[in-house]
Amino acid sequence: MVKQGYINHIEGTPCTSRGKNGIAEANMRKWVGRFMCGGAMAALAAGGAVAQDGQATGDERVQTDASFDEAFPSMVSDPVVQGDLDPPGPLVQQWSPENVKELISVIQGIGAEGLDPADYDLQALTVSLASGPSDELNELASRNFVWLVEDLRDGRTPMDAREQWFVVDPDRDTFRTGDLLTEALATGKVAGTLMQLNPTHHDYAKLREALAGTPESNVAKRKLIRANMDRWRWLARDLGSKYLITNVPEYQLRVTVGDKIIKSYRTIVGKPGRTATPQLAEEVSGVVFNPTWTVPQSIVKGEGLGQKVLNNPAWAKRNGYKATKGANGWISVVQQPGPGNSLGRMKLEMPNPHAIFFHDTPSRHLFANENRALSHGCIRTENALEVAMMVAILGRGASKEEAVEIATSGEYTKVMLEQDRRLPAYITYFTLATNVDGEMQQFNDIYGRDAPVLASLDKPRVKDRSNVIDDEVIVIEDDPRAGG
């Protein structure tokens, strides 16, 4: 069995139950066997999709040369950087004429990165340079270098234009402004120091190419490209070697290992309004197979489910509900594991103040819908059991054999990932990005989040911008039954 401490069982029940749900369990075991033992695993490595019932879907949306070893690499801990950061360098330093000329050249060409040369003191720099070295030139050049660092590293869009954006970008601590200034002037590589701040994700490079290929006359298209280039700067420059990423307007989740998309899955996301899915960068710490669902009080009390469960035990049993009534009259309802559980066969543990996570659903027919903004905020995932097993194995919470046993048990089981193997999970919002076929595609702005970003491009650059996230945290009281 799995190592002690990595798996918890409900009420001490061991992971040995078999066949309690008859044909449904048998079919599920059959699919798991195929997934782990050959056909589906090969399809996973090749990028093909596998249906939840074990039948191939013929979906060839993802094309990748990733091998099994790349999908499930040797479990070696990633390197950890230790020690305190060096003190930041001063923000005003002495510039040589050659370095100022290179800075001017960067500003003149910064439009290629989706930024506006007019945001920087190009004319003042040119005039000051013509007068020779001076304190004024040092201050002007240093100030413009700092502005470029802020825009390339953190994004030009002010925080109040980033609706429901709760990603904490670590790049400000990793790439300290004063240190970059010291490096640029010491090496004479002003452009190289600044350009190293560009996001490493291939989508940023593709957007950059799209901007270069879009005529200046197509103002609307160029603004949309620039807005989505800036969104990449709101994230960490490097997303990591293994991670989950979902683009909400695309309704897709991707599993990425070693800069290759191992698999892509359809998703169902939050409905527009207060249940819209926020944008997050969190960490998957565990996988719950065969989860229970603790029903929110808005449903237990507000919709009368508590009394219905207590008054109709036969109906409650058929639907897997168990109710407990306290001495004070408080009713709690928990839906037990099973094919009809509202969370489906799995959920990914992803602690965050919004109560957002990835999970399965028994209403799998909804993945065929074109518009899949249907949930109460959480993200439902196609072929979720496959996702769960992959995450458990990548996180070294279970071996392939153990994952099979856990998944087919029918019992609530929580598999915790090793601390240094936890997977980053990015919930993003791009309205122009590469689709699952690798082609640039515009997606519907389902939550209307483009408007404030586009508007900010028409306004002067905001100086002394705050990086404090002050948007409203909406705690999702998720009803996984919503939308089906």
Please give the Cα distance from 430 to 340 (Å, whole number). Answer: 33
Q: Is the pLDDT of residue 254 over 60?
A: yes
Bridge partners for 19 per DSSP: none
Q: Are 338 and 282 in contact (CB under 8 A)?
A: no
Please give the Cα distance from 435 to 450 (Å, whole number). Answer: 18
Enter the tokens of residue 155.
Answer: 């994004």
Least confident interval from 23-32, 55-64, 239-248, 407-416: 55-64
The pLDDT confidence band at residue 328, using thresholds 50, 70 and 90, is: confident
Q: Is the pLDDT of residue 88 over 90?
A: no
**pLDDT tens-digit profile of 369-412?**
999 999 989 999 999 999 999 999 999 999 999 998 998 898 99
Q: What is the pLDDT of residue 478?
A: 66
Q: What is the pLDDT of residue 27?
A: 53
**What is the three-class DSSP state of 430?**
coil
pTM: 0.82
The pLDDT confidence band at residue 4, using thresholds 50, 70 and 90, is: very low
Parse the chain into domains and list their residue ranges: 7-71+241-292+336-428, 97-238
**Chain-wide mean pLDDT for the chain?**
84
Q: What is the pLDDT of residue 29?
A: 55
E strands, 155-251, in order: 242-247
> Of 388, 447, 450, 451, whose CA–CA distance to 415 is shortest?
388
φ, ψ for residue 348 (rounded to 5)?
Answer: -95, 125
> Of 162, 145, 146, 147, whose CA–CA distance to 230 is shortest?
162
Q: Positive or negative, the Cα torsion across 182, 187, 190, 194? A: negative
**What is the three-class DSSP state of 447?**
coil
Close Cβ partners of 51 (under 8 Å, ≥ 6 residues apart)? 31, 57, 383
Half-sphere exposure of 41 (CA within 13 A, CB side): 18
Q: What is the pLDDT of residue 455?
A: 98
> Of 99, 260, 284, whose CA–CA distance to 181 is shortest?
99
7-71+241-292+336-428 folds as: L,D-transpeptidase catalytic domain-like (2.40.440)
